[in-house]
Amino acid sequence: MNIQTLTLEGKEFVILSREDYEDMVDIAEANKIKDRIKAGIEELVPSKIALALINGQNPVRGWRKYRGLTARALAQQSKLSAAYISEIETGKKDGSISAMKRIAVVLGVDLDDLV
């Protein structure tokens, strides 16, 4: 890393390449994410879920199973019918936005993780 300094009006400034600056920003962002994971605010997608999604499993079913819930329990907690949950998991229905939000809350994931 090639760093230069410049003093203007009594203040010292650091000059570095755009590439080095962007690397520093990337590191800072990565550290923020790590801190959010340690604090339990964020969660990495577990490899079990990632593999299930790669293999074509419905994300609702994958997260439900990962969380140890039955379809009936997910239905009860999200205040949706078990038949509706089944239709979402089998791809017969996409699920309305409000239904998917309810499911996301119960599963403790972002809505984006289910679509």
For the beta carbon of residue 42, count every other beta carbon within 10 angstroms: 13
Across the range 81-108, mean pLDDT stands at 96
Q: What is the mean pLDDT of residues 80-106?
A: 96
The pLDDT of residue 52 is above 90: no
Q: What pLDDT is recorded for position 28? A: 92
Report helix, strand or coil for 101. Answer: helix
Crossing angle (nearest 10°) for helices 59-66 and 82-89: 120
pLDDT tens readout for residues 99-112: 999 999 999 999 99
The CA distance from 19 to 27, in Å, is 12
Instruction: Count Cβ atoms below 10 Å from residue 109 Cβ, excluding itself.
Output: 19
Contacts of residue 8, defined as CB under 8 A and 6 or more positions apart, other chains included, come to: none
pLDDT at 115: 83
At position 5, the amino acid (one-letter code) is: T
User: Among 1.10.260.40, 3.10.20.340, 2.130.10.10, 3.40.50.300, what is the CATH number of 58-114?
Assistant: 1.10.260.40
Per-residue pLDDT tens for 6-43? 999 999 999 999 999 999 999 998 898 888 888 877 77
